[in-house]
Amino acid sequence: MMKASLLSTTLLTSLLFLPALDAQESKPQTKHNQAVIDFYPQVMNANPPMPADLSQRFISCPISTRQKLTVQPDYKTSAQVDYQHSGWEKRISADWTFFSPDEEQGKVLVIDFANVADGLAYRYLANANTEDQLYEPWSSSKIMAFTAAVAKAREQGVGAMSKAGETHLADLITSINSYAPFGQADGNSNAIATYLLNITGRDRATALFHDDWLKLANAKVRFRGAYEVELFKPATPYWYSLNSDNKASMPELEKNSDDPGYQSYRCEECGLTGNKPMTTLAQAEWLKRLASHERDKLTRQPGLEAEDIQVLFYGTGHTDTDHQVGGMMQGISTMLQHALADAISGKSGSDPKTVLDQATNGQWRTWQKIGWGPSGTRGTGENVVLAHVCLPDYQGGREFTVAAQASYPGDEDIMVNYAGMKIQAILNTSMQQLLSNTP
């Protein structure tokens, strides 16, 4: 991989000289400098660095209690917000213009955590009122297919510490995040995620965004599509618990359209955002509630247990002997880690692992899932990052969920690189602004 200092220099140069748009055709120029071409293999598609200390597989980030925030209006607990009833978006502590990037630069939303005397509390921060704008989440939505499927299996006494046929779920969720073979999983992320959504049912998965859990005000958010025509095929249509004799019947579908809740990408009511439109608020809220599962009983995903989130975050129970951890810890891309390291060090081009290890005694965590692709429907290259960040010891411990999305005109594959560079820029700015604003 390119050294950090060189990466920073070439990235900055490329961001300053992104291709101009032709006034008549509104298409990017076709010449692309080497830094843009290299950004995909060296940053977007790169394996993430690992923390020095992985001895503790915590879900709950060890952040200090801030007594002074007991009546601090910048953060609100779940009891204060009342997430169980619709309209909570108007009751949260939120600043939808906190981050400085404008709408053209992309979308970013952070749910910032704080421990207060009354429990875990949150504040919501975004840029340019983009928190409720619909977009195609691409593969960043695959973790939602996973937890929805596990919650269904839990009804039959089987959780994520199990095997789908003969394949450990921990291996499957790691392949979903890493796009590589892992243990018993073959690395076909799209086929695995589509299988999970098929066995869950799209009506059920979509309902989790609304009456069955998140209770979002935006009724247009839904989960009706697929990622692949090819499907993962387990040896049997059952999940077998690794901790008991329980098994769950999880019948698969022959094809995606056999699900009554399935919609084609350009269905009549889908519009340009397709059949699984989401928002930064919708995606971040889902992941934030998983990360707070042990500490916030009021917002837990129905049916899930802490063990299930351990599998999602760390790949607990995986069979790959070459890796200490799996799950979202293996989510590809170093965009977020670069942004965090530069914000913490105050220097562009910092080495992410070195800076993060030093700032947190090696205990930092970035549980992340990316998504990207060129859209012929919208004529853009697009990029999405969804992650939960834990920085123990730094500023007394910082923890937050982040969702970011950006697009760039043109549906060639290279435009995805440009969208990724916009994501890098918006993450650089937002992480600096977030971490310089110490609660």
- pLDDT tens, residue by residue, 56-115: 999 999 998 765 544 456 899 999 999 999 999 999 999 999 999 999 999 999 999 999
Q: What is the overall mean pLDDT for the chain?
A: 92
For residues 395, 123, 150, 265, the Cα torsion angle rounded to the nearest 10 degrees is: -120
Averaged pLDDT for residues 144-161: 98
Instruction: Record the pTM.
Output: 0.93
Q: What is the pLDDT of residue 73?
A: 60
Averaged pLDDT for residues 403-426: 97
| Beta carbons of 110 and 430 less than 8 angstroms apart | yes
Q: What is the pLDDT of residue 430?
A: 98
User: Which residues, at least 6 apart from 40, have a Cβ–Cβ distance to it below 8 Å?
Assistant: 416, 417, 420
Q: What is the pLDDT of residue 4?
A: 37
What distance in Å separates the CA atoms of residue 294 and residue 349, rounded to the nearest whole number? 36
Q: What is the pLDDT of residue 241?
A: 98
Averaged pLDDT for residues 154-158: 98
- The structure tokens 């692992």 sit at 353
Q: What is the pLDDT of residue 388?
A: 98
User: Which residues, at least 6 apart from 399, have a Cβ–Cβ distance to it below 8 Å?
Assistant: 61, 63, 112, 113, 291, 388, 389, 390, 391
Q: Which two tokens stand for residue 402?
A: 């982040």
Inform me whether the pLDDT recorded for 7 exceeds 60.
no
Q: Which of 23-27, 61-65, 382-386 has the lowest mean pLDDT?
A: 23-27
Q: How far apart are the first and last CA of the chain?
A: 35
Q: What is the pLDDT of residue 20?
A: 39
Inform me whether the pLDDT recorded for 17 exceeds 80.
no
- In the structure, what pLDDT confidence band is assigned to residue 30 with cuts at 50, 70 and 90? low
Averaged pLDDT for residues 209-230: 97
Rounded percentage of the chain residues whose pLDDT exceeds 90: 88
Cα angle 432, 438, 439 (rounded to 5 degrees) comes to 135
| Strands (E) located in 315-364 | none
Q: What is the pLDDT of residue 68?
A: 54
Averaged pLDDT for residues 270-298: 97
The residue that leads in pLDDT, 22 or 127, is 127
Averaged pLDDT for residues 190-199: 98
Q: Which of 9-13, 92-96, 419-423 has the lowest mean pLDDT?
A: 9-13
| Beta carbons of 37 and 55 less than 8 angstroms apart | no
Q: What is the pLDDT of residue 72?
A: 53
Inform me whether the pLDDT recorded for 243 exceeds 70.
yes
Q: Which of 26-30, 250-254, 255-259, 391-395 has the lowest mean pLDDT?
A: 26-30
DSSP code of residue 121: E
